[in-house]
Structure 1
């Protein structure tokens, strides 16, 4: 069952995130097999927080994993609820004294940035096959940013890419990740 969930997320990372260079830091870790794809069977938010805690603890003790995508297909399918839950995620990081050690990026099938319409193409920079909490190591991120240069242009460049492709093509590409069997 987990393979059926991980496969579309891996396809999304490979073809969407890396393939369109939405995150210039992702390819190196993916190729080096340092990305953990973990699936939470949680159906309630409290259990998901426990699963997130476990993944944070795993990253603290296992340096061979650079980053974890905690996929949670059975809880927080509503984007509003998901967005509200991110406050609990921040509180967990603070409570575990991991603020500044890790950060959690958010991805969701219905992701919508504040000030945008549901159908705006730019929302696809953070749309994924399932809800995902992406745990990143702050030190690694800072190091990558140092070597990359002007990271402030990344969101602007990504929005331009999404607008150029258009919503119907983006919908098709994201749908391909879910249905592709390769």
Structure 2
């Protein structure tokens, strides 16, 4: 599968989002170390159809599993040309989980979801808490279960993270969050 022609720009915007929102506001306390040690793989696909994205996802899952954690801790599979509609993206997540199962990677790897229009069930589209999972582009975050379990074991109160993040989103406010996602100064 060909690399996206604007991969460098997409990665730069994704890095800016990570730095200005995820890390700056400690939304994921586990992200600092892999980001600072350059162990996040940014993969930008030019896939334009869900079935092509599924093939890229399969390759990325196996590449992550085959690469030592010391080199790549996690992968962000960014797909700007496919599943831009959140509901289609959300439906695709079932296919992604099925792929994990079919490939024998369930319990070894997992997939977290981020999308520019992410919306939790029971919320309105512009609710601030949706921004905990909003990103500049649709993406699938591929995580190693063992690394995640280790990070969780070292965190003093992992159960408090989601509620804390919702509070941070409300404090920042939707207008600020939109500017951050758009790469504008706040």
1:140 aligns with 2:147: yes
Q: In 1, distance between residues paired with 2:38 and 2:84?
A: 28
1:15: how far off?
A: 1.4
Aligned counterpart in structure 2 of residue 108 of structure 1, from 115, 124, 137: 115
TM-score by length of 2: 0.94
Offset at residue 135 of structure 1 (A): 0.1
Q: Specify which of 168, 173, 184 is matched with residue 166 of structure 1.
A: 173
Size of the aligned set, in residue pairs, is 178
Q: Describe how 1:113-132 pairs up with structure 2 within 5 A.
A: 113-132=120-139
Pairing 1:34–2:39 present: yes
Within the candidate set 46, 54, 59, 2:59 is matched to 54
Distance 2:100 2:43 in 1: 18
How large is the Cα RMSD of the aligned pairs? 1.0
* Rounded Cα–Cα distance in structure 1 between residues aligned with 2:141 and 2:74: 7
| Residue 14 (structure 1) shift | 1.4
Pairing 1:89–2:96 present: yes
Higher relative contact order (CA 8 A, sep 6+): 1
Asked if 1:153 corresponds to 2:160, the answer is yes
User: How far apart are the structure 2 equivalents of 1:10 and 1:88?
Assistant: 27
Q: Does 1:9 align with 2:2?
A: no
Structure 1: runs of 5+ lacking an equivalent: none
Aligned counterparts of 1:127 and 1:60: Cα–Cα separation in 2: 26
